Structure 1
Amino acid sequence: MKKKNQLAISFALIALLLSGCVQRTKSGKPYGFVYEKLAIPTQHILNWLAEILGGSYGWSIIVITFIVRLILMPIMIKQSKNATIQQEKISLIRPQLNKLQERQKEAKTPEEQAAVSQAMMKLYRENNISMTGGIGCLPLLIQMPIFAALYAAIQYSPELAKSYFMGINLGQRSFAFVLLTFISYALQGYLSTLGLPEEQKKQMQSMMIISPLMITVMTYVSPAGLGLYFFIGGIFACIQTLIINFMRPRIRQEMQNELKNKPVFEVELPSKTEEETTNSSESKTNAELIHQNNRKRNAGKQKNR
C-alpha cells in the first residue's frame, strides 16, 4: 500500500510540474521548462515528419503515437498480464473473501474490525496476491511528458495550430475525436470483460464507465492534435486487450498447475466476541419462543374448532 501511495504522490507532483511550466511574457511569447525542453524539440520532430509525410501534421502525430505505444506495449502487456493473474487468484479465494467481508459487516467494535482486516491481509499475503491488483503507474508516468510536449507544441506552434487533418483543425477542439476516443476506450473496456465470470464483470462495471469518461474529458479540453493522440492510443489499447484475452487460457492453466504444488491458503475466521455471541443466542432464543407461541396458538384454534 505504501508503494501505491508513493506512486500516487509522484504522479500528482509530476502532473503539477508539467501543467504549470508554460508561461507567457506580456507580448504573449511562451517560455518555461515544458516549452523550451519539450515543446520546441517536439515541434522540430513534427515539422521534420510532416515534410516526409507530404506536409501532414496529423500523420506526424500518428507516427509519434505509434512509436510511443509500440515502445510501451511490452511494459503494458506485462502489467496487464500481472493484473489478469491477480484477478484469477482472487477468484480462487473469493469464497473466503466473501466470508471475511460478511464478518466485517457484523463486527461491532474497532478491535473486531481490525482482526478481520488482518485476516484479510493475511489471506492476500499467503496467497501471493497484490493489494494493488498488479497494476502500476509506470506507463502513464512515461506518457505524461509526451502529453505535455504535444499539448504545448500544438498550442503554441502557428503551423500546427492552423494545420488540418481529415478536415479537422488540429489546433482546435474536435467533437469527432472526442466521440472516437470514447468509443475506442469503451470498446477496450468491453473487450477486457470477455471470458470473465459474471461476478468479476459486475465488479469491473464502474471502471468500464469511469476510465473512458476520464479520457474523453481530457480529449474534450485538449486541442484536436492531442485528441488524435488519445484516439490512436485507444486503438492500441484494444489490440493490447485482445493479446491478453488470447493469453488468458494459458494463464488459467498455469494457475491450475501452480495449485497442484501450492494449494490455496485458508485463514481462520476471527472468533466472535462474547457480546455478539450473546446477541446471537438471544436472537435464536427469541425466534424459538415466537415459534413455540405460534404453535400453541395454532393448537388452541384447532381445539376450539
Structure 2
Amino acid sequence: MKKKKLLAIATTLTAASVVLSGCVQRTSSGKPYGFVYDHMAVPTQHFLVWLSNLMGGSLGWAIILLTFVVRLILMPVMLKQSRNATIQQEKISHLKPLMDDIAKRQQAAQTDAEKMAISQELMSLYRDNGISMTGGIGCLPILIQMPIFAALYAAIQYSPELSKSYFYGINLGHSSIILTILSFAAYALQGWLSMLGMPKEQHKQMQMMMFMSPAMITVMTFISPAGLGLYFFVGGVFACIQTLLINAMRPKIKQQIAEELKKNQPEKVVLPKKPAPSKADVAKKHAKANRNAGKQRKRK
C-alpha cells in the first residue's frame, strides 16, 4: 500500500510537471505563445519585476518572497494533511498487534471463504478505527503548486530580464549545481526530521519516501532554471518547519489516539471452527481409500 501511494504521488507530480511546463508553444520566429505563457508566465514576469523593484532590483529575493507567500497560504492545508497522516501512523502503531495476527491467520487460511472472512476483518478494523487506506496523505498541495511551477518555469525560461538575472553569482536562467545540492539537503533534512517522530515499527516502510522525495526534487532542480531551483530550496526549508511543527504536536496526538482506542477497544473476530467429521464420514473415507488401493493392486 505504501509503495502504491508513493508511486501515485510520483506519477502525479511527473505528469503534471510535464504537461504544464510543456504547454508553451513557439511561432516560427521563436516567439512563445499559448495559454500558459499568455495567462500565467507573462503576469508572473510582471509581478516578479514589480517585486524586485521593491527589493532593490533583486529578482532572486522576489522569487523567495513569492515562495514565502505561496507556502504561507498553503501551510494550513499542508499542516492539516500532515496531521491526518500522523494520526493514521499512530493508529496503525497501536493496532499493529491485531494487524500482525490478521496477517498470520491470512497466511494460514486454507479456503477462499476463510481468506475472504479475514480480509473483511481487516477492512472492518480499518473502518471502525477510522484508518484510511491511503494513509491520510493526498496530492492536493502538489497539485495546487503545479500552476505556480508552470508559471515560474515559463516566466524564467522566456523572460530576457529573468533569464539574465543573477542572485549571489547564480544565473537564474540556467541550472545551478549549488541550488541542486541545497534543495537535496533541505528535503533530505525534512525526511530525517519526519522519521524522528514516527513510530519505530514504521521506519522501514517510510525509508523509501525519505529517499524518493529528495531524489525527485534533486532531478527537477538540476534540469530546471536556477530561479525555479530557488523556489524548490525555499519550499524545502518550509517543509522542514512544517515537520518540526508536526513533531511538536505528535505527543498530544499520540495521547488522544491512545485514549480513543482505549474507550473503543477493537475486538478480534474469531472464525467458526470446522465441525469434526462424524464416524460415518470417517468410515466412508476409509472405504474409499481401500477401494482405490485395491484397484491399484489389480493394475499391477
Question: The TM-score by the shorter chain falls in which range?
Answer: 0.7 to 0.9
Paired letter, 1:259: L
**Correspondence 1:75 to 2:77:** yes
Sequence identity percentage: 64
Equivalent in the alignment of 1:143: 145
User: 8 Å contact 2:41–2:152 — kept in the other structure?
Assistant: yes
In 2: Cα distance, 1:96 partner to 1:227 partner: 45
Q: Could you tell me which residue of structure 1 aligns to residue 172 of structure 2?
A: 170
Alignment of 1:1-305 (within 5 A): 15=17, 17-107=19-109, 111-260=113-262, 262-268=263-269
Indicate if the aligned counterparts of 2:78 and 2:141 stay in contact, CA closer than 8 A. yes
CA distance in 2, matches of 1:49, 1:136: 32
Q: Can you list the C-alpha shifts for 1:113-162, whole angstroms capped at 9, x where unaligned?
A: 44333222111001111111111221111101000000000000011111
Distance in 1 between residues matched to 2:266 and 2:235, nearest whole Å? 40
Instruction: Give, in whole Å, the separation in 1 of the partners of 2:273 and 2:22.
Output: 54
Gaps of at least 5 residues in structure 1 are 275-305
Measure the CA separation in 1 of the matches of 2:97 and 2:256.
Answer: 21
Provide closer, same or farther for how the CA distance between residues 209 and 13 of structure 1 changes in structure 2, counting only shifts above 3 A.
closer
Match of 1:282 in 2: none
Opposite residue 255 of structure 1, the aligned amino acid is I
Q: Give the whole-Å Cα distance in 1 for the aligned partners of 2:183 and 2:130.
A: 36
TM-score (norm 2): 0.82
Deviation of 1:15 after TM superposition, in Å, equals: 4.9
* Segment drifting more, 265-274 vs 93-102: 265-274
Q: Does structure 2 conserve the Cα–Cα contact (< 8 Å) formed by 1:174 and 1:220?
A: yes
Preserved CA contact (<8 Å) 1:122 1:267:
no
In 2, Cα distance between equivalents of 1:152 and 1:271: 64
Deviations 1:182-216 (A, max 9, x none): 11001001101113332122221111111111111
Partner Cα distance (1:65, 1:187) in 2: 19
Alignment match, 1:280? none
- Could you say if the C-alpha distance between residues 53 and 99 of structure 1 is closer, same or farther in structure 2, counting changes exceeding 3 Å? same
CA distance in 1, matches of 2:153, 2:110: 52
**Counterpart code for 2:162:** L
Q: Distance in 2 between matches of 1:157 and 1:64?
A: 17
Distance 1:252 1:211 in 2: 26
TM-score norm. by structure 1 comes to 0.81
RMSD, aligned α-carbons: 2.4
Cα distance per residue 1:250-304 (max 9 Å; x no partner): 11122233234x3231342556889xxxxxxxxxxxxxxxxxxxxxxxxxxxxxx
Task: Name the SS for the 2:196 alignment partner.
Answer: coil
Whole-Å Cα distance in 2 between the matches of residues 236 and 269 of structure 1?
48
8 A Cα contact 2:21 2:153, kept in partner: no
Alignment gaps of 5+ in structure 2: 276-300
Distance in 2, matches of 1:14 and 1:212, equals 18
SS of 2:208's partner is: helix
Question: Does the Cα contact within 8 Å between 2:94 and 2:258 map onto a contact in 1?
Answer: no
CA shift digits 1:48-107 (9 cap, x unpaired):
011111111100100000000000011111111111111111111101111222333345
Whole-angstrom CA distance in 2 between matches of 1:135 and 1:155? 32
Residues 127 and 264 in structure 1, CA contact (< 8 A), matched pair in contact too: no
Looking at structure 1, the residues matched to 58 and 161 of structure 2 have their Cα atoms a distance apart, in angstroms, of 11
Q: Deviations over 1:219-253 (max 9, x none)?
A: 11111100000000000000000001111111112
Aligned length: 269
